Amino acid sequence: MARAGFTDIHEMDVSAEFLETARAWLRVSAELEPALRVALGDDLFEQQLADRTDLVSATEDGLLRRTLLVGTARAGRSGS
C-alpha cells in the first residue's frame, strides 16, 4: 500500500470474523437446502457447499487468513 501512495497503514486480522461468517453460510445453506437446490440446481448447490466447507476447514486449520488493510491517501493525490 505504501508503494501505491498510502500512509498511516494499519493491518487487522479479521480471520475470526470471516470464520464466523463462513460458518453462518454453511448453517443457512443447510436450513435452506431444499429451496436452494431448486433455485440453483443440485450441481451448483453442491459446489457452493463444498467451497464453503473448504473455507471453514482452511481457516480453522490456519491455512487461510483474512486481513483488512486501511490507509490514508497522501495529500495531493486525486481520486481518479
Report pLDDT digits (tens) over 7-61. Answer: 999 999 999 999 999 999 999 999 999 999 999 999 999 999 999 999 999 999 9
Quick one: cell of 49?
Answer: 457447499
Enclosing H/E stretch for 79: none
Residue of higher predicted confidence among 14 and 80: 14
Taking the C-alpha atoms of residue 15 and residue 36, their distance in angstroms, rounded to an integer, is 27
Domain extents in the chain: 2-73
Q: What is the pLDDT of residue 15?
A: 97
Is residue 76's pLDDT more than 70?
Answer: no
Q: What is the pLDDT of residue 70?
A: 95
The DSSP secondary structure of 1-53, one letter per residue, reads -GGGTEEEEEEEE-HHHHHHHHHHHHHHHHHTHHHHHHHH-HHHHHHHHHHHH
